[in-house]
Amino acid sequence: MAETTYLHIVPGAIETGHWCETCQLPSAVEVELVVLGQTGVSGAGTARLCPDCTPDE
């Protein structure tokens, strides 16, 4: 049986004001990621995106 892993963004762990190399503005945000699996909770690093550069889907 395959293990299901969920990715959950930790509330309150968003850091704003990071420099974006694409648009050259301090608009990027960094979000801490946590994996919730059958073995428990573990850190999965961070993700960074820039709302000024990221196209709306």
| Domain assignments of the chain as residue spans, ordered by start | 6-49
| pLDDT per residue rounded down to tens, the chain (57 residues) | 777 766 665 555 789 999 999 999 999 999 887 777 677 777 778 888 898 886 655
Distant-in-sequence contacts of 21-28, Cβ < 8 A, 24+ apart: 22/50, 22/53, 23/50, 23/52, 23/53, 25/50, 25/52, 27/51, 27/52, 27/53
Q: Is the pTM of this model over 0.75?
A: no
Token match 């573990």: residue?
42
